[in-house]
Amino acid sequence: MIRYIPDKALKFFENSEEKRREFVDFLAFDGQWIYEESFTKKFLEDNGVRYDKEIVGGVKCAIRKIQEMIGEKPSKYFAVLAMDGDDMGKWLSGTHKNWPYWEDVVHSKTIELFDEKTKRNLSPAIHSFISKSLNFFSLKLVRDVIEFDYPGKLIYSGGDDVLAFLPLDYALKAAEKTRFTFSGNLNEKREINLNQTNGYLVINKEKGGKVVIPTLGNKATMSAGIVIAHKNHDLQDILRQVRAAEEEAKKINGKDAFMLKILKHSGEITTCRMHWKVNGKRTVLQFNEILENISEDDGLSMSFFSAMAAELMKLSQGVSLTLVNSLLGRQLKQHIHLKREKDESKKEYEERKIELHSKLKSVFETLFEASENKIDLVLTLRFLATGRKR
């Protein structure tokens, strides 16, 4: 069942229930049939479909019209997401370094009765609570994120283990929301809120009222492997690669991380490994801040990424972050182009350029400080910005 319909498509039939049902039926077809190249004689016959030149011509024409209405072509890349809770064995055995002390869970007056600071005892009740939280997460919360909040398809969800397919544009956002859902960092509108740290979710129901859902709490974390690959890439290889990426994410110090691996159709591979949070800021939000300000004539030009990567390649390993940030500032200045608005004074125009430069420089500096490979980070952002056009 399709639960998510993109806004760009929704506007064409929002006042017609019949058209809405037809569109939902259309979305149930395999994604390969939205590409014109799928309608060659050989491809159709290999899939048991009789080739009819007239019908194929009509279908291709319909595909072009849909693309014109929506304003873009479907990306030939998609994402596979694999996620797993960090150190779950230690949580279940009560030996995790963040296992709560009694003072974290009982009244301060009761703590006075203890002779020393003591960790809470592991008990059948706690095991039952952990099991209940994981059941809620795997049976309801994950599916709501992947298939309701985003246009993905959940393949498997069991306990703290997740496997899902997602469109390229939504992969990082869905992965991030799944991660923070696991630790209960959502507000009542199901939006990510890192200040929500009470260990449970309070969700508004559609028909009124609220429901309380237990989670493992703010100290529990997840790591993820995310592979972006061409639609014709061997699926078995993609699944191997995403599990390997998940394992690489779990090798990063402190975990609570993701590894993004891009398998280009040319055979080139780009990887980027980061924590979900950098200096208390959400990494994916920092990525989006950059991607949303890319424009050839009214924002950051795509040429910035190639130029910045080239500058970084010239630097020796271990060069100071100060020098990197100096090069960054210069490249941003050269590649930010804004349209001058009607009736906008030269001073206002220059101030707007300075403001965008300052904002993007701050975001890049935050990411550079935390990234293992700044060149791969820049190339990853470049791919994410152009992925839909590939």
Within a domain: residue 283?
no
- Same domain membership, residue 322 and residue 305: yes
User: Among residues 43, 74, 105, which one ends one of the domains?
Assistant: 74
If asked whether residues 66 and 130 sit together in one domain, one would say: no
- Same domain for 150 and 92, yes or no, is yes
Tell me if 70 is assigned to some domain: yes
Q: Is the pLDDT of residue 110 over 60?
A: no
Whether residue 206 has pLDDT greater than 80: no
Same domain, 25 and 154: no
Residue 194 is predicted with a pLDDT of 93
* pLDDT tens per residue, range 360-388: 999 999 999 999 899 999 999 999 998 75
Q: Are residues 269 and 361 in the same domain?
A: no
Number of domains in the chain: 3
The answer to whether position 293 is within a domain reads: yes
Q: Which domain holds residue 330?
A: 289-390
Question: Three-state SS across the chain?
Answer: CCCCCCHHHHCCCCCCHHHHHHHHHHHCCCHHHHCHHHHCHHHHHHCCCCCCHHHHHHHHHHHHHHHHHHCCCCCCEEEEEEEEECCHHHHHHCCCCCCCEHHHCCCHHHHCCCCCCCECCCCHHHHHHHHHHHHHHHHHHHHHHHHHHCCCEEEEEECCEEEEEEEHHHHHHHHHHHHHHHCCCECCCCCECCCCCCCEEEEECCCCCEEEEECCCCCCCEEEEEEEEECCCCHHHHHHHHHHHHHHHCCCCCCCEEEEEEECCCCCEEEEEEECEECCEEHHHHHHHHHCCECCCCEECCHHHHHHHHHHHHCCCCCCHHHHHHHHHHHHHHHEECCCCCCCCHHHHHHHHHHHHHHHHHHHHHHHHHCCCHHHHHHHHHHHHHHHHC
User: pLDDT digits over 273-316, tens only?
Assistant: 999 999 899 999 999 999 999 988 899 999 999 999 999 999 87
Q: Are residues 224 and 251 in the same domain?
A: yes
Residues 127 and 187 in one domain: yes
